[in-house]
Amino acid sequence: MINLTIDGKKIQVEEGTTILQAAENLDIKIPTLCFHPLLEPYGACRVCVVEVTLNKKTNIVTSCNTKVKEDMDIQTASERALKARKLNIEMLMAQAPAAEPVQEIAKELGIEKTRFEITDTEEKCILCGLCVRACEEVVGASAISFVERGAKREVSTPFGEESEACIGCTACAFFCPTGAITSEDLHGRKVIHEELGLGPSTAIRIPIRQAVPMVPFIDEESCIHFKTGKCKLCEKVCEKEAINHEAEDTEIEVEVGSVIIASGFKSFDAKRIPAYGYGRYRNIITALEFERMVNASSPTGGDILMANGEEPKAVGIVHCVGSRDENYNEYCSRVCCMYSLKFAHLLKEKTEANIYDFYIDMRCFGKGYEEFYHRILAEGAKFIRGRVAEITDLALTEKEEGKLIIRSEDTLLGVVRRIPVDMVILATGLEPGVDQKDIANKFNISCSQDGFFLERHPKLAPASTFSDGIFLAGACQSPKDIPDTVAQAGAAAAEALALADKGTFELEPVTAEIDEDLCAGCQICLGLCPFTAISYNEEKTICEINDALCKGCGTCVSACPSGASQQKHFRDNQIFAEIEGLFIE
Amino acid sequence: MTEKNKDKTFRIHLMVCAGTACVSNGSFEIKEALEKEIKKYDLKEEVLVVTTGCNGFCERGPLLVVQPGNIFYQQLKLKDIPHLVEEHFLKGRPVEKLMYSPPEEKTPIPILSDIDFFKKQVLIALQNRGLIDPEKIDEYIARDGYRALAKALTEMTPEEIIKEIKESGLRGRGGGGFPTGLKWEFVRNATSPNGGEKYIICNGDEGDPGAFMDRSILEADPHCVIEGMLIGAKAVGASQGFLYVRDEYPLAISRLNIALEQAREYGLLGKDIFGSGFDFDIKVTRGAGAFVCGEETALLASVEGKLGEPRPRPPYPAESGLWGKPTCINNVETWANICRIINRGGKWFSSIGTETSKGTKVFSLVGKINNTGLVEVPMGITLREIIEDIGGGIPGGKEFKAVQTGGPSGGCIPKEKIDLPIDYESLSEVGSIMGSGGMVVMDEDTCMVDVAKFFLTFTQDESCGKCTPCREGTKAMQQILTRITEGKGKEEDLSLLEDLAKSIKDSALCGLGQTAPNPVLTTIRYFRDEYEAHIQEKKCPAHVCRELNTYTIDEDICLNKGHGCDLCRKNCSADAILGEKKQAHKIIQDKCIKCGVCYDVCNFGAVKVD
């Protein structure tokens, strides 16, 4: 431990402490500009100068990078130190008049005006080097550095050209104390993203406010550490030491008796309909994006805003995007009409906008749904019956200038209409999930023609599959809304519980079996079995049937060329005997 | 000597100076002409022409010294050569008209050592100057070269070497004046992280305006620097050295590379030198032209391939230098002294000089002085001896005004202090520094505000820009000085300049910034009246600051003496002069752009400046 005196107060600090840190322990504030606790001290701005007496020698030193020594006597605001500090601030006021932190310190020090010549009144950069050091020390990219020397010194990329070394992390802007480097042009706050994110997100985030469990995660795609191997600032500041960059995904194996598949759906990709302009026009968004935006925890704080940050004055809602369309999906997605009505309601509630709903026909089939439709009609949303042909920004009249124009036939009026709006919400339909086929293969269940999982019986067993112990719940089986999903999930859970309670399940008595002596090992049956119940025994060079999996469909029996595969209780000779018995009379 | 001539003896050796100044004055052509003439008279077996490093008397180049006899020829021209060869080398009659005669005297001085310029010099660092061919290691060895290395490697322990250097009292010749032996001891005792190596660096980034000591040593005697570094390496325990030389010194770099190659060939560099088991090699690193890289921490960054900007000290390079390893950095001249100290002993070295500053110092004597050149003088010599005796006084009978030492980091010493004995302490007392040895002499025609402005413009331009006081402070001082010299100075400017200077000295990061205000502070201290004349009366007493001058024509002189020669009017680019031939001329002040051409062209002194 080292004993020293700061402004007359005695203090004991650990070896290796800087004067600045020691002063902080005593609540003595020394102004700094080029210092940042997460970066190595640089000692360039010379604003943190203090007067130090040691061994009867008095010197002016920078407190940010001078380590304490035994018996140091430090004056943080001696006349000499203050004079140097004030003059340095005064010079920075002339060099970067628009730098706010400089003005703040100047105010504290009682400097009103600089006596030196101001060359650029807009200048903000004080050449503190925080950005350069952040890029090198933290990010490890070293994409920017100082160029030129003396008064011509400035921060730049090599040769002032766009640098490949820059990974676009905006750490430089984050560390910049004066706003000389901004990231606005990179990520405006209210940019509406093509993805569901709606605007910039950090590498460490909680996916959404409703996430379970509600803990942040590190997004490897955006995390600087996974790009350059450096940074790890979060590890440094996390007091609980809860961050581990080395953690990897782990696979967990669980043994279960039954499985409920609730793998959900995928939203229709609106880019597949080029005429609707999604991805080309920033103010055309999908239903899920709108849902994210109106959420109170969204980047806009729940406000409904366009890409330029303004509230829309007219909004179009296009129904049946990707549904009920021979070109995409023939089926009705069942939920779009109702959520579109909800959107119309929210828009009415939160904005003054005119709302246009373009529908084929309204499908309000549930309890209270039709009433809700009438309520929205009463609220003043305009409903236009007809499929939207195109959304464009090509204005034909002055009124359409700067707007998105929805062109659609109004089948009730029998005319083609052009409605100019500020924002369009596409009511995208529901499609089978991205890994639907993988899941089907894994669990050996079938899909219907539309790609959703096939239930055992549409009326009598809507939550079961053809495999015992595997049940379905929700939109993976067919598009459905929340009440239907909850009902189906309850049914699936009950069936699974019933099975668990019984502890056993009944095997099909009528299964196939293979006669070892007759099987030639041709493996024709292997590929035909729909339940993968047949396996090939390489040692015995014959095929074998797993009784627990076999459903007794008889496919293998009819296909077996040597007659080795026989259906129990329905063997050939049994059937022939029965036929013979019929003719005995 | 070529292989053929190696064991041959010659009647006469002609030592042609091939320092940069003489080379640019045509010394290589002189050499060729000499060889041609010698061939003509069939003297090839008797007379040998040798090119040597800088002789020092650069004012009088191209130079030729004839050995034996030490006869000194100067300001040679190609047309003089046939006559010289015929008269002197064939007939044996030295040519008087090519010899040096002091300004006010007519009698030529034939022998080099009798010339005042050389008489008062004591050569240690420059002891081989003009005597050996720097591109031939044999000639260096013949002058006791590498004897000190042999002694250091085979007879002395590192501790003994350090003891000897400490006893000599040698201090860093780069400007700081830190005791060399002590620095070596620090490096020796420092432990390198992870058991790594230590480094030796020779700082040859000489950047002061008007200074060329290091260049001359590197060009004239590269081996003595290499030998010094080898001894230093043994003392501190280093195995790799770097010679950092600015790229503006191509001749020095090429001679160094030749010297290094030869030393390697002779086994004086590389593995197991002299069979002592000691390994050391040197690499030449070329500086890219930043003055600040002469500062040791910036130099380290530059060698490492980083942006050449300084970092705070401590840690000093002796603790954590190149790539974080203990590093011993010394200036060229310091290294050049080492082998001589080892050869002749620290006691001998410390017998020269003053109480606190031992040995000699090389100065480059430039400016308004008769004998421009490189001089090596013992510490403690007075400024008067250097300027009047060695330098031969001020040309044109003008009055001596001040001398600027230490380059842009130094200060101006006024004529009242001309009897100041020179050492580190005395110079710092009068507000200047020893620096690396630049010495710029100024006469009465020099404006001291302009001088301060000149040096501030230099430091302002060369500041790396890292710290605020140096980057912004030098700019601010330069702006204030500029406005003073333009007649726009304000009353408060002087105190603002002083405030600025003090704060910059206090708070700048490195030596460049901390010393940058010295030229301003010393000129204000000794020539305050000149500043006041600029600010209050809007006059430049030395008539250097153009904007403050008023040009008038004395009509009487113009008409009576010059008969209205009209030369001024013809040369005036601003059409500001009225008059015709045989009439008195007149300057229209509103039109005059104060270029001073009329003053320069008037042969009758009719144009007056005030």
Find chain A residues with C-beta within 8 A of B496's C-beta: 115
Say if residue B97's pLDDT is above 60: yes
Residues contacting A458, CB < 8 A, separation 6+: none
The DSSP line for A304-324 is: ---TTSPPPSEEEEEEEESSS
Packing angle between helix B493-507 and helix B474-485, nearest 10 degrees? 160
Kindly determine whether residue A149 and residue B462, on different chains, have CB atoms separated by under 8 Å: yes
Say if residue A192's pLDDT is above 80: no
pLDDT range class, residue A300, cuts 50, 70, 90: confident
Domain at B3-115: CATH code: 3.40.30.10
Yes or no: say if A561 and A522 are a contact pair by the CB < 8 Å rule. Answer: yes
pLDDT range class, residue A585, cuts 50, 70, 90: low
Instruction: Calculate mean pLDDT across residues A391-410.
Output: 94
Instruction: Calculate mean pLDDT across residues B109-121.
Output: 89
B307, B312, B460 ranked by CB distance to A151: nearest: B460
Fold of B448-537: de novo design (two linked rop proteins) (1.20.1440)
State phi, psi for B121 to the nearest 5 degrees.
-85, 145
Closest chain A C-alpha to B313 CA, distance in angstroms: 9
The Cα diameter of chain A in Å comes to: 133
Kindly determine whether residue B503 and residue A88, on different chains, have CB atoms separated by under 8 Å: yes
pLDDT (tens digit, 9 = 90+) per residue, B505-554?
999 999 899 999 999 999 999 999 999 999 999 999 998 898 888 899 99
Residues contacting A208, CB < 8 A, separation 6+: A292, A295, A297
pLDDT (tens digit, 9 = 90+) per residue, B550-597?
899 998 888 888 888 888 999 999 899 988 888 889 999 999 988 889
Say if residue A193's pLDDT is above 50: no
Domain at B549-609: CATH code: 3.30.70.20
pLDDT (tens digit, 9 = 90+) per residue, B181-226?
999 999 999 988 877 889 999 999 998 888 889 999 999 999 999 9
**Could you state, in order of their start, the residue ranges of all structural domains in chain B?**
3-115, 137-349, 360-443, 448-537, 549-609
Residue with the two structure tokens 């007149």: B586
* Integer Cα distance of A462 and A472 in angstroms: 8
Closest chain A C-alpha to B322 CA, distance in angstroms: 18
The SS3 call for residue A585 is coil
Find chain A residues with C-beta within 8 A of B509's C-beta: 43-44, 46, 62
Say if residue B7's pLDDT is above 80: no
* Integer Cα distance of A522 and A540 in angstroms: 12
User: CATH assignment of B360-443, given 3.40.50.2300, 3.30.450.80, 3.40.50.620, 3.10.20.600?
Assistant: 3.10.20.600
- The pLDDT > 90 percentage for chain A reads 65
Q: Report the helix count and the strand count for chain B, using DSSP H and E.
A: 26, 18
Chain A residue closest in CA terms to B479: A117
Closest chain A C-alpha to B297 CA, distance in angstroms: 14
Find chain A residues with C-beta within 8 A of B476's C-beta: 91, 94, 116-117
List the alpha helices (DSSP H) in B58-157.
Answer: 81-84, 116-119, 137-142, 147-154
Instruction: Calculate mean pLDDT across residues B383-392.
Output: 92
Instruction: Calculate mean pLDDT across residues A295-322.
Output: 88
**Taking chain A, what is the end-to-end CA distance rounded to the nearest angstrom?**
114
Kindly determine whether residue B467 and residue A145, on different chains, have CB atoms separated by under 8 Å: no
Q: Which of A45, A54, A91 to mutate to test the interface with B (most CBs of B within 10 A)?
A: A91
Highest average pLDDT, of A197-206, A569-578, B87-96, B324-333, comes from B324-333
Say if residue B329's pLDDT is above 80: yes
Q: Which of A548-552, B308-312, B332-336, B493-497 has the lowest mean pLDDT?
A: A548-552
Give domain B137-349's CATH superfamily.
Answer: NADH-ubiquinone oxidoreductase 51kDa subunit (3.40.50.11540)
Find chain A residues with C-beta within 8 A of B309's C-beta: 146
**Can you give the pLDDT at residue B609?**
87
Kindly determine whether residue B506 and residue A95, on different chains, have CB atoms separated by under 8 Å: no
Stretch (H or E) spanning B257:
helix B250-265
Domains belonging to chain A, first-starting first, are 2-109 (3.10.20.740), 129-245 (no CATH), 268-431 (3.50.50.60), 432-502 (no CATH), 512-584 (3.30.70.20)
* Integer Cα distance of A575 and A396 in angstroms: 79
Strands B270-273, B278-287: pairing is antiparallel
The DSSP line for B463-518 is: --S-SHIIIIIHHHHHHHHHHHHTT---TTHHHHHHHHHHHHHHH-SSHHHHHTTH
Closest chain A C-alpha to B555 CA, distance in angstroms: 44
Chain B residue closest in CA terms to A89: B468
The Cα diameter of chain B in Å comes to: 88
Find chain A residues with C-beta within 8 A of B477's C-beta: none
* Radius of gyration from C-alpha coordinates of chain A: 36
The B-side interface with A (CB below 8 A) comprises 290, 292, 307, 309, 311-312, 460-469, 471-476, 479, 496, 499-500, 502-503, 506-509
* Integer Cα distance of A89 and A105 in angstroms: 8
Residue with the two structure tokens 């002499």: B441
Chain B residue closest in CA terms to A41: B312
Yes or no: say if B476 and B493 are a contact pair by the CB < 8 Å rule. Answer: no
Give CA separation, B551 vs A148, B572, B589, B602, B607, in Å: 41, 12, 8, 12, 7
pTM, two decimal places: 0.73
CA atoms in the 13 A half-sphere facing the CB of B306:
14
Stretch (H or E) spanning A62:
strand A57-62
* Integer Cα distance of A175 and A181 in angstroms: 9
Say if residue A188's pLDDT is above 50: no
Which has more pLDDT, B560 or A424? A424
The DSSP line for A158-180 is: GGGSPPTT-----HHHHH-SSSS
* Integer Cα distance of A372 and A387 in angstroms: 22
Strands B438-443, B400-405: pairing is antiparallel
- The pLDDT > 70 percentage for chain A reads 96
- Note whether B448-537 and B549-609 share their fold: no
**Can you give the pLDDT at residue B103?**
75
pLDDT range class, residue A159, cuts 50, 70, 90: confident
- Report residue A366 as tokens: 């549930």
Kindly determine whether residue A80 and residue B475, on different chains, have CB atoms separated by under 8 Å: no
* Mean model confidence pLDDT for chain B: 91
The A-side interface with B (CB below 8 A) comprises 43-47, 49, 60, 62, 65-66, 80, 83-85, 87-88, 91-92, 94-95, 115-117, 127, 129, 145-146, 148-153
Kindly determine whether residue A91 and residue B472, on different chains, have CB atoms separated by under 8 Å: yes
Determine the residue type at A482.
I
Closest chain A C-alpha to B310 CA, distance in angstroms: 10
**Can you give the pLDDT at residue A201?**
61
Alpha carbon A351 to its chain's center: 27
A vs B: CB pairs below 8 A: 101
**Can you give the pLDDT at residue A187?**
38
Yes or no: say if A15 and A1 are a contact pair by the CB < 8 Å rule. Answer: yes
Chain A residue closest in CA terms to B291: A149
Kindly determine whether residue B469 and residue A60, on different chains, have CB atoms separated by under 8 Å: no
Where residue A556 falls (left for φ over 0; alpha for ψ -120 to 50; beta otherwise) is alpha
pLDDT (tens digit, 9 = 90+) per residue, A242-267?
998 888 889 999 998 899 999 999 99
CA atoms in the 13 A half-sphere facing the CB of B487:
13
Instruction: Calculate mean pLDDT across residues A331-345.
Output: 96
A60, A83, A92 ranked by CB distance to B468: nearest: A92
pLDDT (tens digit, 9 = 90+) per residue, A53-110?
999 999 999 999 999 999 999 999 999 999 999 999 999 999 999 999 999 999 999 9
